A and B are shown apart, each in its own frame.
Chain A
Amino acid sequence: MITFIVRRLIVTVFLLLVVSLITFAIFFLVPRLAGQTSYELASQYVGRNPSPAAVHAIEAKLGFDQPLIVQYGRFVRGIVMGAHYDAGPNKTYCPPPCFGYSFRNQQPVWPMLMSNVPVTASLAFGAAVLWLVAGTAIGVLSALRRGTVFDRAAMGVALAGVSLPIFFTGLIALQLFSYRWPVFPDLRFVPLTENPLAWARNLVLPWTTLAFLYAALYARLTRAGMLETMGEDYIRTARAKGVPERKVIVKHGLRAALTPIITIFGMDLGLLLGGAVLTEFTFSLHGLGLFTILAIGNNDLPEILGVVMLTAFFVVIANLIVDVLYAVVDPRVRY
């Protein structure tokens, strides 16, 4: 198991390198293939109406005139060793891990990313707990009462949950519970360490909105999984042993039905940690999602590159945790 984790971590490093290479290629190579010159690229990193001399200076300092492979080398080196950016008169050191330097914001990318992580993480983890509990519970009940009014109603709501976009449900939630009946007025992010109560109170609406979407998905998944496992022979064996029905459902049925859910959960959570774009945008939460949108809007390539790398990292790590959990849950899986 330990060797497996170590091996996987090593693979993860390589995987991230590949991801960075692809991202790098997309952001740096594609514009060039489309015919942009290094001068035009550099002009994106300076303010409006720059002087040609300033652009040329940036072009040289960012190394856009260098071959791509050298640029990539500089980028990777920056992550490990840090990098020096000398933009204009002020020399800047970007300490490792340096994911580039946003010339628009005059800041290294990494600290900006990190300042956004708590918001996104608060949103993602809170919502994840909600949707996992609600989704599986509804899914199990639906499976056990297949065809009843409860099942039909739950699956109907689930269909709505899957189909309605967050900017719709989120706005409705805001309109109803923040403006018309101000149960949650004045929503803004309060760090958990500052005031846990306010933190939770102000996140209830975003959590519920985000969890609604995922809970719907998980309810349908759990229902399908439970219907399958409850028909298995070992469920019949458990009943034949005289195991009480409640225990048959949870200990024998749900335990087996949860395995695929764990897989999906890991990937969903990993992806969300990279930014819940729509939810953050709807509720004006300054997390990685909103950061991404602003970065794209500003055409700020180092920022976009940083977000993509961070998201990839979260997804890869989440998958690693899922794989380890798999071995814990299912004894047939051994590494």
Chain B
Amino acid sequence: MAELLEVRDLRIHFPTEDGLVRAVDGLSFGLGGGRTLGIVGESGSGKSVTSLGILGLHEGTSARISGEIWLDGEDLVRAAPERIRDLRGNKVAMIFQDPLSSLHPYYSVGDQVIEAYRIHNRVGKKAARAHAIEMLDRVGIPQAAARADDYPHQFSGGMRQRVMIAMALSCDPKLLIADEPTTALDVTVQAQILDLIADLAAEFGSAVIIITHDLGVVAELADDVLVMYAGKAVEYGTAEDVFTHPAHPYTWGLLGSMPRLDRERGERLIPIKGTPPSLINVPPGCSFRPRCRYADLTGGRSAAEVPTLRETGPGHLSACHLAAIQRRRIWAEEISPRLEGAGQAPQAHAGEGII
């Protein structure tokens, strides 16, 4: 499969006074054109740092980046900053978490979309404005022509995120990165925004990376899933594989700690014990070991050796020292029965469940 995006052994480290923060540490994954990848993980697992790295937005900071990011045959890690700037907003676009703080308060939304379009397209102001209004209309802003002159503070949260989407898609990007696009929104509009991203991405033929800590979002949108922990990929596969037979204890933990509408009321969620490790002092061996209930079954390997991504099924990778047979048994006998209704993708709790 000719991949649109191919990340190989990406490392993004930040030197700080307290030590080297290994925000992303040896991450590899691929994404085919037009497909949707969900990157899941707790805060501080390196999801956002990765996406900013793909956009080259660590330029000018203290970040040390190594590895390769191939986008459409170009290595973005080695490309000139000017070339990456040219790609940003054009071939790769991004939607951020909080649409209020992400939009400039002093410029009208129309002007902000126009700016995004005109940077990469040699068109006059009138044509750009017409295009901006068309984009605002397509993302579902009523009376787009009139509202283009309004300022971000005059829009609701959901409408602002629609503006961000219009801006991101204005140059018809091949890759759209959405970094927690619904986290700052009302629950009631989350589903609308997700649907909008999915519909427009399909319409524009864009590949999508959706970054979230919400498995429901992933279940609704993603073709593929990448689970990250402490700057590394711990599980990678199709959404189908990852949700029906997850092969990493951390993924089991994530699934167990998610509220579900099809479970009994009052039933307790099962949190993952402990907290994510400091990215300055990542535990030796498997970084998930201190929180893993099954670490003892590896015969000490998890304390000594960093697990690498290995196939547990066709196209389904997992970084765990437990033998594939062991994991299949634990999943089938211990985890799966506890997650009532398992065997099917979890329901998007922002989605059909509410509306």
| Chain A residues within CB distance 8 Å of chain B | 232-234, 236-245, 252, 255-256, 329-332
Q: What is the CB-to-nearest-CB distance from A234 to chain B, in angstroms, rounded to a whole number?
A: 4
CB-based contact B89/A241 at 8 Å: yes
A237 to B120 Cα, complex, angstroms: 15
B281 contacts A by Cβ under 8 Å: no
- Known contacts A236-B57, A237-B96, A332-B151: A243-B119 contact under CB 8 Å: yes
B86 contacts A by Cβ under 8 Å: yes
Q: Apart from A234-B103, A240-B96, A242-B86, what are 5 other A-B pairs with CB-CB below 8 Å?
A: A234-B104, A237-B104, A240-B93, A241-B88, A241-B89
Q: What is the CB-to-nearest-CB distance from B59 to chain A, in angstroms, rounded to a whole number?
A: 8
Which residue from chain B places its CB closest to the CB of A144 in the assembled complex? B60
On chain B, the residues within 8 Å of A241 by CB distance are: 88-89, 93, 115-116, 119, 167
A243 to B107 Cα, complex, angstroms: 15
On chain A, the residues within 8 Å of B94 by CB distance are: 240
5 contacts between A and B (CB under 8 A): A237-B96, A241-B89, A242-B89, A243-B115, A331-B108
CB-based contact B102/A234 at 8 Å: yes
**Considering the complex of A and B, which 9 residue pairs feature the smallest CB-CB distances, nearest first?**
A242-B89, A242-B88, A241-B89, A233-B101, A234-B104, A241-B116, A331-B151, A233-B102, A240-B94
CB-based contact A239/B104 at 8 Å: no
CB-based contact B89/A234 at 8 Å: no
B87 contacts A by Cβ under 8 Å: yes
In the complex, which of the residues B90, B104, B120 contacts A252, with contact meaning CB atoms closer than 8 Å?
B104
- Known contacts A241-B88, A332-B151, A332-B153: A233-B120 contact under CB 8 Å: no
CB-based contact B104/A256 at 8 Å: yes
A28 to B291 Cα, complex, angstroms: 80
On chain A, the residues within 8 Å of B75 by CB distance are: none
CB-based contact B87/A239 at 8 Å: no
CB-based contact B101/A239 at 8 Å: no
In the complex, which of the residues A240, A256, A331, A332 contacts B88, with contact meaning CB atoms closer than 8 Å?
A240
Q: What is the CB-to-nearest-CB distance from A241 to chain B, in angstroms, rounded to a whole number?
A: 4
Q: What is the CB-to-nearest-CB distance from A254 to chain B, in angstroms, rounded to a whole number?
A: 11
B88, B101, B104, B164 pick with most chain A CB within 10 angstroms: B104
On chain A, the residues within 8 Å of B96 by CB distance are: 233, 236-237, 240
> What's the interface size class on B, roughly?
20 to 34
CB-based contact A242/B85 at 8 Å: yes
A240 to B103 Cα, complex, angstroms: 12
In the complex, which of the residues A240, A245, A256, A330 contacts B89, with contact meaning CB atoms closer than 8 Å?
A240
In the complex, which of the residues A237, A239, A330 contacts B106, with contact meaning CB atoms closer than 8 Å?
A330
On chain A, the residues within 8 Å of B240 by CB distance are: none
Binary A-proximity of B95-115 (CB < 8 A = 1, otherwise 0): 010100111111010000001
- Known contacts A233-B96, A239-B88, A242-B86: A256-B105 contact under CB 8 Å: yes
A233 to B164 Cα, complex, angstroms: 12
Q: What is the CB-to-nearest-CB distance from B89 to chain A, in angstroms, rounded to a whole number?
A: 4
Q: What is the CB-to-nearest-CB distance from B83 to chain A, in angstroms, rounded to a whole number?
A: 11
On chain A, the residues within 8 Å of B57 by CB distance are: 236, 239-240
A242 to B88 Cα, complex, angstroms: 5
A252 to B106 Cα, complex, angstroms: 9
On chain B, the residues within 8 Å of A256 by CB distance are: 104-106
On chain A, the residues within 8 Å of B89 by CB distance are: 240-243
A255 to B108 Cα, complex, angstroms: 14
On chain B, the residues within 8 Å of A244 by CB distance are: 85, 119
CB-based contact A237/B103 at 8 Å: yes
In the complex, which of the residues B101, B106, B167 contacts A329, with contact meaning CB atoms closer than 8 Å?
B106
In the complex, which of the residues A232, A238, A242, A255 contacts B101, with contact meaning CB atoms closer than 8 Å?
A232
B55 contacts A by Cβ under 8 Å: yes
A252 to B98 Cα, complex, angstroms: 18
Q: What is the CB-to-nearest-CB distance from A61 to chain B, in angstroms, rounded to a whole number?
A: 59
CB-based contact A242/B120 at 8 Å: yes
Which residue from chain A places its CB closest to the CB of B86 in the assembled complex? A242
CB-based contact A236/B102 at 8 Å: yes
Which residue from chain A places its CB closest to the CB of B177 in the assembled complex? A240
A330 to B104 Cα, complex, angstroms: 11
CB-based contact A255/B120 at 8 Å: no
On chain A, the residues within 8 Å of B164 by CB distance are: 237
A329 to B86 Cα, complex, angstroms: 30
Q: What is the CB-to-nearest-CB distance from B188 to chain A, in angstroms, rounded to a whole number?
A: 23
A88 to B264 Cα, complex, angstroms: 103
Which residue from chain A places its CB closest to the CB of B108 in the assembled complex? A331
Which residue from chain B places its CB closest to the CB of A244 in the assembled complex? B85
- Known contacts A331-B151, A332-B151: A238-B104 contact under CB 8 Å: yes
A233, A240, A243, A252 pick with most chain B CB within 10 angstroms: A240
A240 to B119 Cα, complex, angstroms: 12
Q: What is the CB-to-nearest-CB distance from A197 to chain B, in angstroms, rounded to a whole number?
A: 40
A245 to B86 Cα, complex, angstroms: 12
A232 to B104 Cα, complex, angstroms: 9
A50 to B57 Cα, complex, angstroms: 81
CB-based contact A330/B105 at 8 Å: yes
- Known contacts A242-B87, A242-B88, A243-B115: A331-B105 contact under CB 8 Å: yes
On chain A, the residues within 8 Å of B115 by CB distance are: 241, 243
CB-based contact A242/B90 at 8 Å: yes
